[in-house]
C-alpha cells in the first residue's frame, strides 16, 4: 500500500505542477489534515465508549449471559471448541460488537477471541477451523446497527445517517452466509480427504 500511495501522491504532484494548480494541492493537503483530526476524535469517542461498555459487561457477568444466548450459534459455527467457557465468552463478545457495527472497536475483542482459539489449537502454526471461521465472521459480519458508518455519515453532515441500515442488513447477511458456507464446505472436504487417507493407510 505504501508504494501505491507514493505513486498516487507523485502523480498528483506532477499533474498539479504541469497544470499550474500546485496551490490547490497545498490547500487540499492542509484541509485534509484538519478533517483527519476531526474524524479521528469522532471515532475515538465511539471506540472508547463501546470498549468501556464491553469491559463493564465482562466484569458484571453479562458476558456469561450473552455467551449463553449465543451458545447454539457458537456450537454450530465453532464445534471444535467443545464448550470451552473462556473461548465461548470471548467469541460471544466479539460477535456482539460486530452486530453493533463497532468497526475498529471490535479489534481488541477479536484478538482476545483469537488468542483463546489459538490456545485450544495448541499454538499450532496451522490455523484451526474455528480460527478461520472467526476471521470470516470478523471480515463479513451481520451488522444490526452499523455504528461506525453512521458516525462517519453524521460527521460528514448527512441528513439521514440511518437510511443505510436496510442495505447494510441485507448485504452483511448475504456476505456472512457466503463466508460460513465456504468455511463449512472446505472443512467437509478436508474431513473427507483425511478419512480417505486413513482408510488407505489402514489397508496397507
- Is residue 112 in some structural domain? yes
- Is residue 27 in some structural domain? no
Residue 105 has pLDDT above 70, yes or no: no
Of the two residues 67 and 162, the one the predictor is more confident about is 162
Q: What pLDDT band is residue 198 in, cutting at 50, 70 and 90?
A: low
Q: Which domain holds residue 113?
A: 43-203
- Is residue 30 in some structural domain? no
Output b/e per residue, 59-72; b: 16+ Cβ within 10 A: eeeebeebbeebee
The label of the residue with cell 456476505 reads 175
Q: How many domains does the chain have?
A: 1
- Is residue 91 in some structural domain? yes
- Is residue 18 in some structural domain? no
115: DSSP letter: H
Residue 103 has pLDDT above 70, yes or no: no
C-alpha cell at 25: 494541492
At 43-100, the pLDDT tens digits run 777 677 767 777 787 778 776 777 778 888 888 888 888 878 888 888 888 888 787 7
- Is residue 181 in some structural domain? yes
Q: What pLDDT is stored for residue 197 in this prediction?
A: 67
At 112-161, the pLDDT tens digits run 889 999 998 888 888 888 898 999 888 888 888 777 788 778 877 888 88
Q: What pLDDT is stored for residue 168 in this prediction?
A: 86
Half-sphere exposure (CA, 13 Å, Cβ side) for 182? 13
Amino acid at each position: 500500500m505504501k508504494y501505491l500511495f507514493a505513486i498516487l501522491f507523485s502523480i498528483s504532484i506532477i499533474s498539479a505542477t504541469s497544470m499550474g494548480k500546485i496551490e490547490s494541492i497545498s490547500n487540499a493537503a492542509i484541509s485534509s489534515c484538519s478533517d483527519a483530526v476531526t474524524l479521528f476524535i469522532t471515532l475515538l469517542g465511539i471506540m472508547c465508549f463501546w470498549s468501556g461498555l464491553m469491559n463493564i459487561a465482562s466484569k458484571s457477568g453479562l458476558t456469561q449471559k450473552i455467551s449463553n444466548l449465543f451458545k447454539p450459534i457458537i456450537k454450530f459455527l465453532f464445534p471444535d471448541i467443545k464448550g470451552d467457557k473462556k473461548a465461548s465468552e470471548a467469541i460471544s463478545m466479539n460477535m456482539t460488537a460486530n452486530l453493533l457495527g463497532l468497526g475498529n472497536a471490535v479489534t481488541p475483542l477479536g484478538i482476545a477471541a483469537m488468542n483463546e482459539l489459538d490456545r485450544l489449537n495448541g499454538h499450532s502454526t496451522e490455523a484451526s477451523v474455528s480460527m478461520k471461521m472467526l476471521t470470516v465472521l470478523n471480515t463479513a459480519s451481520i451488522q444490526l446497527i452499523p455504528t461506525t458508518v453512521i458516525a462517519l455519515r453524521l460527521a460528514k453532515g448527512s441528513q439521514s445517517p440511518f437510511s443505510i441500515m436496510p442495505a447494510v442488513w441485507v448485504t452483511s447477511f448475504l456476505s456472512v452466509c457466503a463466508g460460513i458456507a465456504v468455511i463449512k464446505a472446505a472443512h467437509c472436504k478436508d474431513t473427507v480427504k483425511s478419512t480417505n487417507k486413513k482408510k488407505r493407510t489402514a489397508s496397507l
